[in-house]
Structure 1
Amino acid sequence: MESRQPIKLAERRVFSDSFKPLYNEGMSLVERAAEYLDGPGRSEARKLSRMAATLYAAESMRLTTRLMQIASWLLLQRAANSGEMTRDQVAAEKCKVRLDTASAPDHATGWNELPEAFLSLVQRSLSLQNLVRRMDEEIYGRTPDGPGEPLARRSNPVSDQISLLNTAFARG
């Protein structure tokens, strides 16, 4: 009896030329976010209320973390696609990549004051992270982050508030 394995479309996409647009999109978003945060975002953040500025600082750290994790995943897939790494090597290295960086809820105090360009970057990064996470799960399967932990942690309101407080009082 012949084994009928489902075709993994994400795997075909990642390990073919059709990966280039996804890679370019991710790296372009990283560049745009860096340019924004170092330029217009810096001056726009100075105009925010204290609470919105605290939220902006915390959310910009989450944005940066999320984009660096996405970039790491994309670079690993590109290395496998180009033959620089085997799929097994990529699978071993990608366990260090976290694709679960949450964002503050859009009803958080100060959210409606955040600059539109910043919110657009946050939303685009979340969409890209969701796409990459789905592809990763299809290609490599679900693997726990640690003992008893689910793959993707959901937003935790208490943790979000602690993060905001740490940012407000500069305790990183």
Structure 2
Amino acid sequence: MSLHPRRRHGRIQWLTVAWLTLAWVLLWGDLSVGNVLAGALLGLVVTVVFPLPAIASGMTLHPLGFVRLVAHFARDLVVASVQVSVQAFRRRPPVSAVIGVRLRSSSDLYLTLTAELCSLVPGSIVVEAHRLTSTLYLHVLDVDTAGGVEAARRSVLDQEERVLRALASPAQLAAAGLSARPARAAAPGVIA
């Protein structure tokens, strides 16, 4: 008797089988009945022999937060690409740093998403992610362009907040110390 819940209940991961079948067909470059059946059979064998653990994410997709996440990421991508391009033509070497940023959420999923989004922006790369402390260590190419070490840290925390506001449940937001609604910035000259 197996203690693994997927093996014990005999559940098959059909979505994973479908993705593996699609990957098989794309790798072979031939959409035929035999190729699809071979991919499905191989996908079935892989998911039965190597089942993936269940992910209890508790995620809730917030459409407006997701749009904000994607739009801000696209903006970061363009701005950072220009900054890195300019840096390539400068004569002075960049002042680089490795910074540690302790994230608010203890979820592995949100840690991974934040790390991936930070790594995809040119000029920074995650060199280590420490799961137990929810800490990301990033190499920042030019901290002067980034506004200093604290600005680079703030940028990572802002990215995590956008990820949480796009995907986290209200309980996960509260656990991360964030309110259910984002705080609105006060107008200049107005005391909040």
**Given the two structures, how large is their TM-score scaled by the length of structure 1?**
0.31
Query: When you count strand as a share of all residues, which structure comes out higher?
Result: 2
The higher radius of gyration belongs to 2
Query: When you count helix as a share of all residues, which structure comes out higher?
Result: 1
Greater relative contact order (Cα < 8 A, sep 6+)? 1
**Given the two structures, how large is their TM-score scaled by the length of structure 2?**
0.28
